Amino acid sequence: MFRNGRARSEGAKAARFGLVGAAATLMHLVAAQAVLAAGVAPVAANAAGFAAAFGLGLLGHYHFTFRAAGPFARALRRYGVIAMGGFLVNNLALAALVASGRVGDGAALATAILVVPAATFLASRLWGFAAPRAPNERP
């Protein structure tokens, strides 16, 4: 599919994405669990964790994962769309787990947070942090 150099480059991006994503996910999880422990409902605690981790994910992916060539404002808008889509899926999973009553709130929160990373990588790689196309370049 890819030539050797391209495969290595994509593998390196995926590894960097994993590092940044793991750091942002850990921040999300720790913040959300702390808010949950303070007695806040799981969905609201999840929102607090998401807000705490958003900036780390954006800056990490812009500067480190994808070493984006495009304007930061463009990446912010696109990453915002991707992150909010991921957060929506995350919250739907969380609500379903909590409603099932089969797992505790903390376990439901941790599980829901881990649902989204692969889709987020693909969307970020292919759209969120993609370099702008030249005006005469075909899609």
Between residues 119 and 4, the one the model is more confident about: 119
Residue (of 121, 91, 98, 129) closest to 16 by Cα position: 121
CA distance 112 to 115: 5
pLDDT at residue 139 is higher than 60: no
**pLDDT tens-place string over residues 52-99:** 999 999 999 999 999 988 899 999 999 999 999 999 999 999 999 999
Q: Where along the chain do its domains lie?
A: 4-128
User: Does residue 22 register a pLDDT over 90?
Assistant: yes
Contact 109, 98 (CB under 8 A): no
- Note if the pTM is more than 0.85: no
Per residue in 102-125, pLDDT (tens digit) is 999 999 999 998 888 777 888 888
> Distance of CA 104 to CAs 25, 44, 50, 83, 85, Å?
19, 16, 20, 25, 25
Residue 8 is predicted with a pLDDT of: 86
| Weakest mean pLDDT among 26-30, 95-99, 124-128 | 124-128
